[in-house]
Amino acid sequence: MAEVPRLEIRNLRRSFDGRAVVDGVSLQIMPGQVTCLLGPSGCGKSTTLRMIAGVEMQDSGEIYVDGKLICDTVTRVPPERREIGLMFQDFALFPHLSVEGNVAYGLRGSRAEKRARVEEMLGRVHMQRFIDMYPHQLSGGEQQRVALARALAPQPRIMLMDEPFSGLDNRLRDGIRDETLSILKEEDTGVLLVTHEPDEAMRMADEIALMRDGRIVQQGAPYNVYTRPLDRASVAFFSDAN
Ligand code: ADP
Ligand code: MG
């Protein structure tokens, strides 16, 4: 039997003030696949992710998780029931909660069950010994790992990541990208990673969806998209960014 995509979006559209910001975006992400939505600032990447997360409503189009319709103009599963994990640039750790409290935040079950799951997830990101600390006591990279553990703890079917590494200094970034990727690969979740940096997409993606002016203009394996850009605008995007 054919595998069901973890995430499928069909023809998503959203306008602000009469301007189409997301203009008919369709995508499928399979289990274990990392797709990068890559494109210049302002092309509609975050709006696309926000609609999938359920914090922004589309004007039209459908969203499916595991083949189940979670959102169209009639049906609307609330964000917390979409089984989607989020790592957004501005979606920081809760400062008043310990590392344990942060990772336990979206979990259900008894105290002991939650504790066991928190320990397991912190183990996976090599942060067990920080369990009782608070976010301000951690470095940027450590906070990032806790945020990853928090997002993965409820076993989301799909992970949405919006420029998750942009707040880190250059020195750390490559290491954390690689580490994050290897943890995501162990989870077999589908990942949609938004970035405006070709380097990041080349490093992390199984597939790149190149976005411009609210549309996906080219999609494929990173090497193919990079070496065979569709048009001058794509060439300019790849060369400007480097
Ligand atoms: P990206 O993440 O690719 O940089 P965004 O999806 O954040 O792009 O934004 C795409 C465009 O939509 C931008 O021009 C932005 O100003 C506009 N936009 C996003 N959200 C809103 C909003 N709530 N109201 C009006 N315009 C918005
Ligand atoms: Mg954005």
How much is the ipTM here? 0.98
- Tokens matching residue 100: 């344990």
Tens digit of pLDDT for each residue in 69-95? 999 988 999 998 999 999 987 668 999
Cα–Cα dist 163/41, whole Å: 11
Could you tell me if 241 and 196 are in contact, meaning their C-beta atoms sit under 8 angstroms apart? yes
* E-assigned strand segments in the chain: 7-16, 19-29, 34-38, 60-65, 68-71, 84-88, 158-162, 190-195, 207-212, 215-220
Nearest bound ligand to CA 212?
1
Which atom, in ligand 1's list, is nearest to the CA of 47?
A: 6
Whether 55 lines ligand 1, by a CB cut-off of 6 Å, is no
CA nearest ligand 1 atom 16, residue: 42
- Residue 208 confidence (pLDDT): 97
Tens digits of residue pLDDT in 204-223: 999 999 999 999 999 999 99
pLDDT of residue 170: 84
* pLDDT score for 171: 84
Q: Which residues of the chain have pLDDT under 50?
A: none
Give the integer Cα–Cα distance in Å for 207 and 71: 24
Residue 177 CB–ligand 1 contact under 6 Å: no
CA-nearest residue for atom 22, ligand 1, is 16
| CB distance 94 to ligand 1 below 6 Å | no
The residue whose C-alpha atom lies closest to atom 14 belonging to ligand 1 is 42
What is the per-residue pLDDT for 176?
A: 87
The per-residue pLDDT for 242 is: 52
Residues with CB under 5 A from ligand 2 (ion): 46
- Ligand 1 contact, 182 CB (< 6 A): no
CA of 186 to the centre of ligand 2 (A): 27
CB of 45 closer than 6 angstroms to any ligand 1 atom: yes
* Best CA proximity match to 65, nearest among 10, 15, 147: 10
Write the residue with the smallest CA distance to atom 12 of ligand 1.
21
